[in-house]
A and B are shown apart, each in its own frame.
Chain A
Amino acid sequence: MKWNKADLAQYLEAKEYIDTILIPLIPYQMSTESELEKNAFQNELTTVLANDLEKELTGRVMLTPSYYYVKHATKEEEIERLHGWITEIQKQPFSHVFFLTLDASWKKHEQVLKGTLLWLPGMKSGDLHSAEMHRFVRDQVDQISELIRSYW
């Protein structure tokens, strides 16, 4: 399920079946010019991965809008804000929360997060529309969905 009108109408009817939340965590920044392209690319890649993952597991996973944050901001503050999201999410009967990110700095704060962190080393650059990238995404999605299934 995505955060759009049609899917939410379906969600309201089948609430008891959808118990998993997926939040993409995407950093952005403007200060380090040499990193701009890499960050933008990772943004695109995370979005593609999250969308494909959602497609694979539509019937049980709700993909929230992406959580964007300034890359250099302190993680403590971000975690606090993120936990605000989770408190809100738990107003509905969701029992699993997954965060999807390519930003390794979350890894250190994994224990504090109220949910499961799915950190992927990802890629620094490449052509998102090439056949290899397509296969790469396909493989990653297969493996991540298997991981998510093991939590159900």
Chain B
Amino acid sequence: MSEKKQQVSRRQFLNYTLTGVGGFMAAGMLAPMLRMAVDPVLQESGHGDLTNVSLAVEDITTEPQRIDWKVNQVDGWYESEVNRSAWVFKNDKDEIQAFSPICKHLGCVVSWEGNDQYPDQFYCPCHDGRYYKDGTNVPGTPPLKPLDVYESEVREGMLFLGDAVPREGA
């Protein structure tokens, strides 16, 4: 075969073509199968996705207000809508703060000035847990950690919120 270098025999030509076509077909069949096998890896993760909570930035005051919104959550096979809420306000430095209302003690829902005796504090009705306006827990009340903070961003004058991130204990 090697003496006539450039010559391709009929047998070789057929071999090459058949391998080529066969390989192409095999690849066509295998690619989708492979794609399905690694599908979860390619899927965009929900983490870090920010949601428009329908609140304009100019409506945010220094007085905390409660907002509710929905996010899609994928839990294994199960896709569901989850309600989330936050207390949103501007602090002294004019920064937007968004706190999770979930009490760090046992998970009740806290409210701003929920008790007349403690103005300017977040109050948990279940076991009298309290938090200062910056979200840190009042020492001596049941919660041991500050309220979680939502990842937030302002896009075109609207507030977008992501996941609640825990903070270190005071």
Contact = CB atoms under 8 A, between A and B. Distances in A.
Interface in B75-107: 103, 105-107
A129 to B, nearest CB: 9
Contacts of B107: 58-59
B126 interface: yes
Contact of B108 (A14, A58, A138): A58
A79 interface: no
Looking at B107, B125, B126, B127, the one whose CB has the most chain A CB atoms below 10 A away is B126
Contacts of A145: 125
A17 B124 CA distance: 13
Interface in A5-23: 10, 14, 17-18
Contacts of A55: 109
A149 interface: yes
A57 B127 contact: no
Looking at A14, A57, A138, the one whose CB has the most chain B CB atoms below 10 A away is A57
B109 A56 contact: yes
A60 interface: yes
Looking at A14, A18, A60, the one whose CB has the most chain B CB atoms below 10 A away is A60
B125 A17 contact: no
A17 B106 contact: yes
Interface residues of B, number: 12
A58 B125 CA distance: 11
Looking at A10, A59, A149, the one whose CB has the most chain B CB atoms below 10 A away is A59
A39 B109 CA distance: 31
Nearest to A16: B127
A14 B109 contact: no
Interface string A89-130: 000000000000000000000000000000000000000000
Contacts of A56: 108-109
A10 to B, nearest CB: 7
Interface string A27-58: 00000000000000000000000000001111
A58 B129 CA distance: 14
Contacts of A60: 106, 108, 126-127
Contacts of A149: 125
A17 B126 contact: yes
A86 B77 CA distance: 37
B148 to A, nearest CB: 15
Interface of A: 10, 14, 17-18, 55-60, 138, 145, 149
10 contacts: A17-B127, A17-B142, A56-B109, A57-B109, A59-B103, A59-B105, A59-B107, A60-B127, A138-B68, A149-B125
Interface of B: 68, 103, 105-109, 124-127, 142
Given A14-B106, A55-B109, A59-B103, 7 more contacts: A57-B125, A58-B106, A58-B107, A59-B126, A59-B127, A60-B106, A60-B108
